[in-house]
Structure 1
Amino acid sequence: MRHIAIIGSGPAGYYSAEAAQKKYGDDVQVDIIDRLPVPFGLIRTGVAPDHQSIKAVSRRYEKTALTDNVRFVGNITVGEDVSVEELQGLYDAVILATGAPNDRTLDIKGGDLDGVIGSAAFVGWYNGHPDFADLDPPLDGKSVAIIGNGNVALDVARIIAKTESEFSGSDIVAHALDKLKQSNVEKISLLGRRGPHQIAMTPKELGELGHLDRARPVIDMRDFPEEGDDAMLEPGMRKSVTHLRSFFTRAGELREKPVTIDFDFYAMPVAIEGDGKVEKLIIEKTELDKDMRSIGTGQRYELDCSMVISCIGYRTPPIEGVPYEHGRGRFANVDGRILPGLYCVGWARRGPSGTIGTNKPDGFAIIETVADDIGSGDNREGRMGLDRLLDRRNVEAVTFRDWKKIEEAEIANARDGAPREKFTDVADMIAARSN
């Protein structure tokens, strides 16, 4: 019997567990350990609440979770309740699938002012992550700046711009919906250091901006190359740029909508100013060098705003005793191998890149690597040993059966038209499993 521990219950974790099942059949036991009492990681707290079709992938993970040889072990903090070293002594392989939940630092003057918020915090706030439930984003001002030209920046802009009725069918949490209903924001600026041909926005997410009830995208065609140059782009990117061009051609049709989502290309934030809180963003215009890198031109302008949301990427949090690449914000590894018996997968391995689906081949590949290394296993204690250790420390894990009770309570608490009302407090989650 092989014993595998996976730390992290998001897509990379569950795809790795599924791969282990397919590789070994009944000759494997997999424990998926998570800090929270609820599974699915990024699917629950990262994917936008109005993208329920994407969140539906959790049903695939549930099929894996409900099998006898895969177990969810929630409410366990690795590094506090149990160490990586202890897990290595209990399991043939320990796979870190912790994702990259921490924001990269916005390293500019004024980046620590009140009103500067990382996207992980803001997305976690409207998605009900317990770590960010108490966030109080300043939506009372008329202008908000979002730094970044990827899908996360689009999600944040769209969520701020939507009306209450547009959240029908979503699982946005009540505290965020109530706050957004009171928003005074009229201008949302999306700032990117490079141009339209260098965005990391996918067509579906861009297309949604053209169909919002009260908000309209604003494009300055002076930022664009000749339309014929679009032919050089790969098909998905070409479609995204076509959406951007269409926002300009539809300007007359969209003009009556009061909220604007302004695309500011070739814009590099260099400082944030304000008396204890965000009041303005200082931006330097950029241009591209021959290698398509952005360089400052020295020309600066100011953008009045009450909040700056930084969507510039994520980092995997370090774990004591695990080699780490600080420059890349991920665990130090070679093809997923960190140390003998210790591996990483997904964003924890490659950094925050790719889609949810990218984690499937990554998960299957790491299990092949594990199989090459551990052979038939080493007669480890596995989950029995973990249970004894947690029992000695009076640490009570949350099981997948417990999670299903929590989920039932969230569904029962849902407002009209919503699939659930998430618990945003760990103690409430724990209490719900007993009801």
Structure 2
Amino acid sequence: MAYYIDIPSRDGAGSFKAYLAIPSSGTGPGLVVGQEIFGVNQNVREVADMYAEEGYVALVPDLFWRMQPGVDLGYTEGDFKRAFGYFSELNVDAAVQDIGAAIDTLRALPQVAGPDIGYVGFCLGGKLAYLTAARTDVACAVGYYGMGIENMLDEAANIRGKLVLHFAENDAYCDAAAREKVIAALSSLPKAEMYVYPGADHAFARVGGMHFDKPSALMAHGRTIAALKSQVGPHFNLSYLWDQHVYHEFATRDVPSTMATMVAEPYVNHIPTLTGGVGAKQLARFYQHHFVQANPSDMRMTPISRTVGALQVVDEFIMCFTHDREIDWMLPGVAPTGKYVEIAMVGIINFRGDKLYHEHIYWDQASVLVQVGLLDPAMLPVAGIESARKLLDETIPSNDMMKRWSGSEGL
């Protein structure tokens, strides 16, 4: 659910529009999303929708309304020129006041759970993240590649909430000297976190942009969600949610129930075999015809460890089964061998809000091939069932593959 609302300004100058995105649950913590210099355009609306999927009531105020209401620019050369014009004319003090009005509005909305409000801003919004932290009672402010902060460090003493700043190493708008000045000035704040992303440039988190850097964007997003959840929520039992997903995959073997635990457009990636699916349609097809209904009847998992973070679960486990049918996702094209298999696996399970977003599943494919008789361990430095069993029995010898191991004794 997303629509525009009107926000009255604090100074009585009028009212302005803001894009409001509501999570599917209907409620959540309030989050102001600060625009780039391109206005409340499609990109920032999609960012707000994504944060709504994370469980936030996300509000994007039109910060250019005092100059030109409804600015909605793309990324052509002409759009860049217009955007920099708005940026150069912006009254920053009034923009922070308008962010404060957006905070007031969120607190008054029935969909917003609790008084603590978060803020996430990009580019211009990243600069305003710092000022929002210094001039408002926001509980957590996150800024992506903000510029000019080094000239406003005298306000740092006013920051009481959490502040997270993401910097791009190659950002010409905030070079190394400016960045180091900011980090040096803010590092003593008890709730400040500053991160630099090597090789990244300005706007590295703008999906589809010329400088989009997915690894940096993923790392920054994880840190952002962790910071927001620590100060404003929402709080979900990710361990329970993951268990429910696995229950429907392997116990009930119910594909609709499995898909119901996931976001609208999830994906699954089994790393060694490139199997799974991207998007609901392809993933449901994969689950129905090649996974949930197609696994060996004796397949079981033995948990070894679980780490639960702010937005993901990391599971270490042993999977056991008899290769009594073709297993498309693990041994595609391999006829049943009747062999018993035990393999060590790791799953990194990412969530958006209370729904599973994606799975990255890892295992040693060489160990699987050894156990079904397709790979000779005498010819290669690979192991079979011992790889999994050593997780539970540390007395299984180490270093037997290393021919030079015996020669290092006593050295």
TM-score range, shorter chain: under 0.3
The structure carrying a bigger helix percent of its residues is 1
Taking structure 1 as the reference length, the TM-score comes to 0.26
Larger-Rg structure: 2
The structure carrying a bigger strand percent of its residues is 2
Taking structure 2 as the reference length, the TM-score comes to 0.27
Q: Which has the higher contact order (CA 8 A, sep 6+)?
A: 1
